Amino acid sequence: MAHTPNHPVENDIRNTYQWLEDRLPIISFLNNSVGSNFMAPRNLSYMWNFGSLAGIALVLQILTGIFLAMHYKPDVHMAFDSIQHIMRDVNWGWLIRNLHMVGASFFFIVVYIHMARGLYYGSYKSPREVLWGLGVVIFLLMMATGFLGYVLPWGQMSYWGATVITNLLSVIPFVGPDIVVWLWGGYAVGDPTLNRFFVLHFVLPFVIIAVVVLHIWALHMHGSNNPKGISLTKQTDYIPFHPYYTIKDIFGLGVYLIPFTFMVFYAPEYLGHTDNNIPANPLVTPAHIVPEWYFLPFYAILRAIPIKELGVLAMFGSILILFVLPWLDKHPVRSARFRPLYRPLYMLFLANFILLGWCGMMPAEGIYVRIAQAATAIYFGFFALLPVLSKYEKAKPVPTSI
Amino acid sequence: MIRTFLTLAFLATWCLVPGAFAAGDAPALEKQQWPFQGLRGSYSKDQLLRGYTVFTNACMACHSIKYVGHRDMMRAGFTEAEVQALAKNLDMSIDQKLLTAQDDQTAIETFGKVPPDLSLINKARAGLADYTFALLMGYSEDPELIHHSFPKGLPEGAHYNKAFPGHAIAMPNPLTGPDLVTYHDGTPATVEQMAKDVTVFLQWTAEPERVERQHMGLYVLIYLVLFTLLAYVTKRAIWKDVKGH
Amino acid sequence: MSTKPTAPHATDDDAPLGDVDAERRALLVNATAAFGLAGAACVALPFVSSMNPSRSVKALATLDVNLNDIPLGEAKTFLWQGKPVFVWHRSEDQITEARKGDTTATMDPANDADRVQKAEWLVVMGVCTHLGCVPMRGGEYGGWRCPCHGSQFDDSGRVRQGPAGTNLEIPPYRFLDDATIRIG
């Protein structure tokens, strides 16, 4: 791409494409990235739609978020009122806020499916370890952004969710309590907290974009994995991303937007909590503090362990363990299709993850704690078994070509 | 893989439906048919005015609706002259919000707490509109019922209510009997009618955008279904030359 | 950046499309693109519209001014929709001066009688028609001069010296009674 002395430069601006290409080769760059010069395996299933769908969901969140930020006020006395101002007074404010609220949930649905697909087809295995790791970074940033965003409406769940989650950090030895005070900018969640959470909620999505760029860069090194999990050698195994996968993604987007839109217009607060329509009150804690649904499995792990420090460790560990997944599972076969043991184990893991989510929603008492403990054990057991499987699992015959 | 996913997605939706497992202390609520529900649901101006009448006569002595003023009612189809007249009756300007005259201190002395603002009440309690209605209909003096929940008698200053979690509510029954108000349209003001009307009014104060939202959603969905079908046909046409598809 | 194959369209040679198929394909692609872009344009509208004045801003669109507060011969400034409005209680002399201007104000000719509802009350926007500064009382023509670029306005708010080219605007207002006007 770089200019070499013997490369004639196009100076006739009427030859627009070449003229621009010789100055800023952005069109060929896009073409190589997501256009007709990017070759993708031709056997990708609809499970591969969720990567680009996640990208679209991110853009939609940023777009709606920017317009909401024009009307929102990060001040404990005004935050709740400004949300009502958006819902009642701002032209189409209710639509933009509903898109943002429902969009957050759907973003997580898409990313969870995207991750589950990677887990099933071994997309994290060599040579895609860094690609996977960057994905986990994006997931962590998303969780942080989602948490910060849920605080902004300054309802009861916002306030008490923020209090409970920030207090988790107090388990850090020696400096924990100081860190919590530093995070709050006071001795409880308050005005300084809300103000900085707003700033961070605004900034983090752009950090996510930066990591997404790295994620796509890493993807382009070896291309997409595929349902058979095999490395493709023949040129005929590939088709250009554009138009084949662009149109497939557009169709997928349509399918995605139908339930999404239905929620936006007919059940915008269905996934939220009624307590968040009560202004924050530092004197009264709601009867049941429930985080947003996308945190529930991890929340269940936190509460399953009766020792505070260990619970926090287990919760963070349950996400961080994803970073070392490529080194836990070193089985040479990628796709679960050809792994008779990994496949049922994977199903169990997924079902168990949903069970954990259910536990996170239930009060932390009696039988629910026992179930959550068993589910936590299965969660970590899955990862503990992977090195064993890598050694002893005998795979079915793997095809050499698609 | 896709089949597995659909199964799990179904399982997850079923499991994680909020409210599918209601918390133990909240009494089960009877589901009502509300006119604002459904794809073509709407608020009727007459019912809103009836609900407004109940609110201003039976609730506003203690409760505010701080996010709504008379001018905002123009969004529900009232004309400026109509809201001017309504506001004049209450000695208010149309730009003032519906605030109670009771001050917080008096409220605390009388009820032990400041009565909550009702702007968002239908979105702020589990059970939503059904809860508001059930609460208004839930007062009872039946000694057997009271004795069942409170063998040692009701707590001081509390009132028995079937729908309220814990059954002891500080708010006295606001709809003590029929004909508390006279409706502009001659509808008989039974207790149930008043409870229904004021619940609908409170739904409107909580979600004034609801009708616009529901009506618009239908068009957006129709557009999206058409778009998706078109995209699918195009996808099929483009993929025609790929082997194995 | 890429080590992957950069094959030409791998399938082109295998199964060439017939003319009919190619035509149908092009038609469908165009239809999807057009339909999708139309939808996207519709989505953009609410976002653009959200930046326009909200209901609560529009609700503050009127301002009542008590005229008893303004002494004869003096002008007071009020804030209406975020902008200053001058209400000038003109004396007999000032009205006479303003009427003389009917013939001498040539930059943007207008009759004083058309610019007031009652001769003793001149109500004009306090926004210079050049670039929006707030003019100050004074200048050579009895009315205002703008501190930013020196435009001058007379007793009727007519422009007499540039760079402004048009007279001070008159906001919509009406007399509720002899002592009150409602602006907006």
Q: For the stretch B130-154, what's the b/e string if a residue is b when 16 or more beta carbons lie within 10 angstroms of its beta carbon?
A: bbbbbbbbbbeeeeeebeeeeeeee
Dihedral of CA A196/A202/A203/A204: which sign? positive
Task: Look at residue A238 and give its three-state secondary structure.
Answer: strand
Query: Does pLDDT of A25 surpass 70?
Result: yes
Chains sharing 3 or more CB pairs under 8 A with chain B = A, C
- Note whether B23 contacts A363, CB cutoff 8 Å: yes
In terms of Cβ atoms closer than 10 Å to its own Cβ (0-12, 13-18, 19+), residue A124 is buried
* Backbone torsions φ then ψ of C59, nearest 5 degrees: -65, -25
Look up tokens 């008379």; give the residue. B70
Query: Does pLDDT of A160 surpass 50?
Result: yes
Averaged pLDDT score across all residues of chain A: 93
Task: Look at residue A217 and give its three-state secondary structure.
Answer: helix
- Note whether A67 contacts C51, CB cutoff 8 Å: yes
Beta bridge partners of A214: none
pLDDT the model gives residue A288? 83
Smallest CA-to-CA distance from C173 within C160, C164, C182, C163 is with C182
Q: Which residue of chain C comes nearest to B224, CA vs CA?
A: C39
Beta bridge partners of C99: none
Q: What is the 3-state secondary structure (H, E, C) of A106-148?
A: HHHHHHHHHHHHHHHCCCCCCCCHHHHHHHHHHHHHHHHHHHH
Choose among B25, B123, B221: nearest Cβ to A277: B123
What is the tens place of the pLDDT at every residue in C8-30?
Answer: 444 444 445 566 678 888 999 99
pLDDT the model gives residue A394? 93
Positions of A marked catalytic = 220, 224, 248-249, 292
- Let me know: does A240 contact A38? Beta carbons within 8 Å: yes
Q: Which residue of chain A comes nearest to B240, CA vs CA?
A: A244
* Backbone torsions φ then ψ of B181, nearest 5 degrees: -130, 165
| Topology classification of domain A44-224+239-281 | Cytochrome Bc1 Complex; Chain C (1.20.810)
What is the DSSP code (8-state) at residue A155? B
- The residue that leads in pLDDT, C104 or B206, is B206
Choose among C16, C21, C28: nearest Cβ to B234: C28
What CATH code would you report for A290-393? Answer: 1.10.287.980
Q: CA-to-CA distance for A170 and A302, rounded, in angstroms?
A: 14
Dihedral of CA A81/A87/A93/A95: which sign? positive
Size of interface B-C (CB pairs under 8 A): 43
Interface check for A71 against chain C (CB to CB < 8 A): the answer is yes
Smallest CA-to-CA distance from A111 within A267, A215, A238, A3 is with A215
The distance of A14 to chain B (nearest Cα, Å) reads 32
In terms of Cβ atoms closer than 10 Å to its own Cβ (0-12, 13-18, 19+), residue A117 is buried
Beta bridge partners of C152: C145, C161
Contacts of residue B227 in chain C, CB cutoff 8 Å?
A: 32, 35-36, 39
The distance of B135 to chain A (nearest Cα, Å) reads 16
Q: CA-to-CA distance for B218 and A90, rounded, in angstroms?
A: 22
- Note whether A89 contacts C29, CB cutoff 8 Å: no
A66: Cα within 13 Å, side-chain hemisphere:
9
Look up tokens 């909620």; give the residue. A201
Q: Once rounded to an integer, what is the mean pLDDT over residues A321-326? A: 97
Q: CA-to-CA distance for A257 and A268, rounded, in angstroms?
A: 14
* Sequence ranges of the domains in chain A: 44-224+239-281, 290-393
pLDDT category at C106 given cuts 50, 70, 90 is confident
Question: Is domain B41-234 annotated with CATH 1.20.1250.20?
Answer: no
The H helix count followed by the E strand count for chain C is 4, 10
Q: Which residue of chain B comes nearest to A292, CA vs CA?
A: B18
- Note whether B231 contacts C59, CB cutoff 8 Å: no
What is the DSSP code (8-state) at residue B73? G
Cβ contacts of residue B209 below 8 Å, gap of 6+? Answer: A87, A88, A94
Q: For the stretch B73-94, what's the b/e string if a residue is b when 16 or more beta carbons lie within 10 angstroms of its beta carbon?
A: beebebeeeebeebbeeeeeeb
- Note whether B231 contacts C24, CB cutoff 8 Å: no
Q: CA-to-CA distance for C16 and C14, rounded, in angstroms?
A: 6
Identify from A29, A39, A73 which residue to disrupt to test chain C contact, counting C C-beta atoms within 10 A and taking the largest count. A39
Contacts of residue B209 in chain A, CB cutoff 8 Å?
A: 87-88, 94
pLDDT the model gives residue B26? 62
In terms of Cβ atoms closer than 10 Å to its own Cβ (0-12, 13-18, 19+), residue A262 is middle
pLDDT the model gives residue A358? 92
Locate C109 and state its tokens: 């000719």
Dihedral of CA A211/A217/A219/A221: which sign? negative
- Note whether A91 contacts C5, CB cutoff 8 Å: no
Choose among B95, B223, B237: nearest Cβ to C59: B95
ipTM score of the complex? 0.90
Rounded to the nearest angstrom, the gap between the alpha carbon of residue B8 and the centroid of all alpha carbons in its chain is 33
- Note whether B123 contacts A269, CB cutoff 8 Å: yes
Q: Once rounded to an integer, what is the mean pLDDT over residues A202-220? A: 96
What is the DSSP code (8-state) at residue A276? G
Dihedral of CA B238/B240/B243/B245: which sign? positive
Contacts of residue A62 in chain C, CB cutoff 8 Å?
A: none
Q: Which residue of chain A comes nearest to B226, CA vs CA?
A: A254
Length in residues, chain A: 402
pLDDT category at C73 given cuts 50, 70, 90 is confident
Cβ contacts of residue A283 below 8 Å, gap of 6+? Answer: none
Helical segments of A237-341, H only: 246-266, 296-304, 308-320, 325-328
What is the tens place of the pLDDT at every residue in A355-388?
Answer: 999 999 888 888 999 999 999 999 999 999 999 9
Q: Which long-range contacts (CB under 8 A, 24 or more apart) does A56-63 make?
A: A56/A253, A57/A103, A57/A106, A57/A107, A57/A110, A57/A111, A58/A107, A58/A205, A58/A208, A58/A209, A58/A212, A60/A99, A60/A103, A61/A100, A61/A103, A61/A104, A61/A107, A61/A205, A62/A205, A62/A206, A62/A209, A63/C47
Query: Does pLDDT of A210 surpass 60?
Result: yes
Choose among A37, A95, A240: nearest Cβ to C46: A95
Q: Once rounded to an integer, what is the mean pLDDT over residues C26-49? A: 93
Choose among C11, C28, C29: nearest Cβ to B241: C11
What is the tens place of the pLDDT at every residue in A114-140?
Answer: 999 999 999 999 999 999 999 999 999
pLDDT the model gives residue B19? 47
What is the tens place of the pLDDT at every residue in A259-317?
Answer: 999 999 999 999 889 999 999 999 999 888 889 999 999 999 999 998 888 999 999 99
Angle at which helices A93-120 and A129-151 pack, to 10 degrees?
A: 150
Choose among B12, B21, B231: nearest Cβ to A247: B231
Contacts of residue A42 in chain B, CB cutoff 8 Å?
A: 242-244
Q: CA-to-CA distance for A126 and A110, rounded, in angstroms?
A: 24
| Topology classification of domain C57-183 | Rieske Iron-sulfur Protein (2.102.10)
- Note whether C25 contacts B237, CB cutoff 8 Å: yes
The distance of A278 to chain B (nearest Cα, Å) reads 6
What is the tens place of the pLDDT at every residue in A70-96?
Answer: 999 999 999 999 999 999 999 999 999
A243: preceding bond cis by omega (within 30 degrees): yes
Positions of C marked catalytic = 149
What is the tens place of the pLDDT at every residue in B186-243?
Answer: 999 999 999 999 999 999 999 999 999 999 999 999 999 999 999 999 999 999 888 6
Cβ contacts of residue C33 below 8 Å, gap of 6+? Answer: none
Cβ contacts of residue B219 below 8 Å, gap of 6+? Answer: none
Q: CA-to-CA distance for C101 and B53, rounded, in angstroms?
A: 58
Task: Look at residue C141 and give its three-state secondary structure.
Answer: coil
Q: CA-to-CA distance for A36 and C87, rounded, in angstroms?
A: 67
Q: Where are the beta strands (DSSP E) in C61-179?
A: 63-66, 75-80, 83-89, 121-125, 136-137, 142-145, 152-154, 159-161, 173-177
Angle at C56 between CA C51 and CA C60, to 5 degrees: 115
Q: Which residues of chain B have pLDDT under 70?
A: 1-2, 4-5, 10-27, 243-245
- Note whether A91 contacts C52, CB cutoff 8 Å: yes
* Sequence ranges of the domains in chain B: 41-234
